[in-house]
Amino acid sequence: MDPNDGNGVAEDALPPPSHVPEVVEQVLEPVKSSIEVINNGDDVCLSQRKYCIDLISEFGLLGCKPSKTPIDYNLNLDNDFCKGVPLENVIGYQKLVGKLIYLTLTRPDIAYSVQILSQFMHDPYETHLKLAMRVLMYLKGSPGKGILFKGNSSLSLSAYVDSDWAKHVTARKSVFGYCLFLGGSPIAWKSKKQSTISRSSAKAEFRALASVTCEIIWVLIMDELGIKNQVPVKVYCDSKAALQIAANPVFHEKTKHFEIDLFFVREKINLGVIKTIKIKSEHNVADIFTKGLTVTQHYTLSKQLGLFDIFSQLS
């Protein structure tokens, strides 16, 4: 098995399909837990360790071999992924995915996988539950990971944005993701399938750029954070074409159908609210929200996200 192929667990390590409905039926009551706030000197760590361990225990995976990634490298949601035996216990699957969604409050590294699972809430197959088991086995490797806020960090804002063009094979819609940082800590992130079809990768990237710009504006108007004057906000993007469209003041027919996004982003650039910066794809942390990565890529970007396992330090 190639350690860089993103497949950190053998196929036979997953629960057999015949036992899948029985396992899901165990998850009927919500896990009572909350976000743990741990002080570490001047730093504060937000974690859901107990919640995560309880969830893994519900499915009898505490003794399993951890997976190195939450999803296979470049997994495509084509028609073959939705073939097989439909799940009988749909409600159990929905509750499981709902709990994973709650877990993304402190674990942005599983946001893309959970976004995929949530697309099949009403018609799940055994393949979807296997993917959910894969996420739990990934969490088993470091259930104590969380978001670390450093006491000596600045209040500067920055954002990373990316999209994977026409990722959804059946509908040919793109997946976009972004992450907003306060100092070196993530405070807002998203992984989502775009609602409209983009006819080029540049347009998909630009729509993602408009989405993160909206998020930045919402954060800037929050007086409690005390960051009103922290502009322009640096927005890192790996699409040269999207950045050229944002900088070009000329409108023409090829950009007319997403003209509103163009006016919006260019206005914020001219007002000095944001500043777009080109970044190499391998350094774009937003990649973790748009596609399955190799083991090395996932580890590097998770570290760049600022995730920290304080419990490993305490032990």
pLDDT in tens, 34-60: 799 998 888 999 999 999 999 999 999
Least confident span in 18-27, 88-97, 260-269: 18-27
Does residue 130 sit in the same domain as residue 165? no
d(CA 163, CA 191): 9
Say what percent of the chain tops pLDDT 90.
49
Say what percent of the chain tops pLDDT 70.
79
Does residue 250 sit in the same domain as residue 128? no
**Residue 314 forms part of a structural domain:** no
Does residue 196 sit in the same domain as residue 283? yes
Does residue 94 sit in the same domain as residue 206? no
Does residue 142 sit in the same domain as residue 204? no
Specify the pLDDT at position 169.
62
Does residue 126 sit in the same domain as residue 59? yes
Q: Strand order of the sheet with strand 233-237?
A: 185-193, 175-182, 157-164, 233-237, 274-278
**Residue 80 forms part of a structural domain:** yes
**Residue 5 forms part of a structural domain:** no
Does residue 42 sit in the same domain as residue 102? yes
CATH number for position 200: 3.30.420.10
Q: pLDDT tens for residues 193-230?
A: 887 777 777 888 888 999 999 999 988 887 666 666 67
Does residue 19 sit in the same domain as residue 91? yes
Does residue 82 sit in the same domain as residue 51? yes
d(CA 68, CA 71): 9
Domain that holds residue 255: 154-287
8 Å CB contact between 150 and 43: yes
Does residue 68 sit in the same domain as residue 130? yes
Specify the pLDDT at position 311.
85
d(CA 137, CA 56): 8
Dihedral, 229, 230, 231, 234 alpha carbons, nearest 10 = -170
Give the count of domains, the chain.
2
**Residue 306 forms part of a structural domain:** no
- The pLDDT of residue 158 is above 70: yes
